[in-house]
Amino acid sequence: MNTPSIGFRSRQRTRRSMAQVIAVSVWSLSFLAGCAVGPKYQRPIVKLQPYHNAPAIDARTTQTAIPQLDAWWKGFQDPDLDRIIQRALDQNLDLAAAMTRVQQSRAIARQMGARNKPQANLSAQDTSFRQSLQSPFGRAASHITGFDRNQNYYDLGVQASWELDLFGELKSGAIAATAEAQAAEAAGSGTRISLIADSADAYLQVRGFQQRIHYALDQIDKDEHLLALVRQRFDAGVASKREVEQVEALLHQAKASVPPLRIGLETQLNRLDVLMGAQPGTYANELSTPGKIPDIPALTGLPNPVDTLRRRPDIIAAERELAASNARIGAAIAGYYPHISLSALLGYESVTPSSLFRNATFQPHCPPPRNAKRRSCVRWKRWKHREPSPSRPTRQEQLR
C-alpha cells in the first residue's frame, strides 16, 4: 500500500496550490492598489498682459535703496515704523488665530495621512470582583472544592488593523487634507501681509495728519496776523469793511479745518493700537511728537504679471482649495467600490500574574464577519447600489 506517499503528495499539492493562491492574491492586491479613481488635477493656466505702467515705474529715481520683498517696510528707514510692525506681528490676535488654524490644518493632514498605515492598539486590564453566591454561576461554583469568591482577571492584548486602499480613497483624502493645509498656510500669509500693510498705512496716515495739523496751525497764525494788519488799515481808513470780512472768513476756514484733522489723527492712532492687539490709546503717547513723512523707497523691477498673481496668498489659497475639492471627488467616487481591511487581536488572559504569559493563556482572535460561521481576519464591504438623493450626484455625473 502506498497510503503514506499518497498523503504526502496530496499535502504537497495543497501547499503548492495555497502558495499559488497567495501569489495571485498579492499580485491582484498590488494591481488594484494602483487603480486610483477620480479626475486628475491640472493647475489652471493663466495668461496676462504686461503692466501698462512698468516703464514709468522703472524710470522713477529715488534716494533710498531697493528693500527686500519680504521686509519692504524697512525701505522707509523709519525706526518707529519698524517697531510698530514688529509689535503688530507679535501681538495681533487675528494673526495668532490664523497661525493656530495653520497648525490645526497641518495636524489634520498628518492624521489623514496616517489612516493609510496600519493601526495598532495596546490594552491592559486588571479586574477584581467578589462573586455573588446567589447568582446562577455562584450557586453552581460554590459547591466546587477550592472555590474563592474573590477573583482577579488579568487581560493584556494587542489589536492591529489595516485598511487596504485599493481605489485610492484614503490617498485622495490625504491629498485633500494636505491641499487644505497649504490653503490655510496661504491664508495665514495673507493675514500677515494685510496686517503689515494696514500697520504701515495707519502709521503713514498718522504722520500725514500730524503734518497737515502743523501746516493748518501755521496757517491760522498767519491769518490772525493778516487780520490784525487789515484791521489796522481799516482803522486808518485805508481798507474797506469788505477786506476785513474776507480775511476773517479765511481765518474761520483755517480754524474749521483743524478738528477733522485731529479726529482723523486719533482714529489712526486707535487703529494702530487695535492692530497691535492693545486697547485704543495704549501706545498713542509714543507718536505724540510729530515726525516727518518717510521717503518712498525704490521699487524692484516689475516681474511677469503671472508670477505676481501666483504670489498672492488669496490666489494660492483658492488654487489649493480647488485641488482639495478635486481630491474629494476622487475620494467620493472611490467610496462606491469595495473596502477591504485586515484586523487581528492577540492577547493573554489569566487569573494570576505569574501565568499570564503562557501558552495556555494565549488567545489569538480574528473578528468574524456578520452572518458567517468561520472566523476570518479579512473584512470587506461589498458595493451596494443606492438611489441618489437630490443633493448627492450620481456616479455618472461625477465621472463627467
Domains, the chain, ranges and CATH? 119-164+338-400 (2.20.200.10)
CB-based burial label for 198 (10 Å; 0-12, 13-18, 19+):
middle
Q: In the predicted model, is pLDDT for residue 369 greater than 70?
A: no
296 φ, ψ (degrees, to nearest 5): -75, 125
Please give the Cα distance from 261 to 368 (Å, whole number).
80
Please give the Cα distance from 355 to 280 (Å, whole number).
71
No. of H helices and E strands in the chain? 11, 4
303-360 confidence digits (pLDDT tens):
666 677 778 899 899 999 999 999 999 999 988 888 888 887 777 777 777 777 777 7
Average model confidence (pLDDT) for the chain? 79
DSSP letter, residue 71: G
Q: In the predicted model, is pLDDT for residue 93 greater than 80?
A: yes
User: pLDDT tier at 256 (50, 70, 90 boundaries)?
Assistant: very high
Q: At what angle do helices 79-91 and 169-235 cross, to 10 degrees?
A: 140
How large a percentage of the chain has pLDDT more than 90? 37
What is the per-residue pLDDT for 372? Answer: 45
Q: How far is CA 2 from CA 8, 15, 154, in A?
A: 10, 20, 51
For 246, the 3-state DSSP assignment is helix
Contact between 309 and 315 (Cβ < 8 Å): yes
Please give the Cα distance from 381 to 379 (Å, whole number).
7
Lowest mean pLDDT, pick from 38-42, 122-126, 260-264, 288-292: 122-126
Q: In the predicted model, is pLDDT for residue 127 greater than 70?
A: yes
Highest mean pLDDT among 38-47, 326-335, 386-395: 326-335
Q: In the predicted model, is pLDDT for residue 134 greater than 90?
A: no
Q: Scanning the structure block, which residue is given the C-alpha cell 453566591?
A: 133
Contact between 157 and 345 (Cβ < 8 Å): yes
Q: In the predicted model, is pLDDT for residue 3 greater than 90?
A: no
Please give the Cα distance from 343 to 353 (Å, whole number).
27
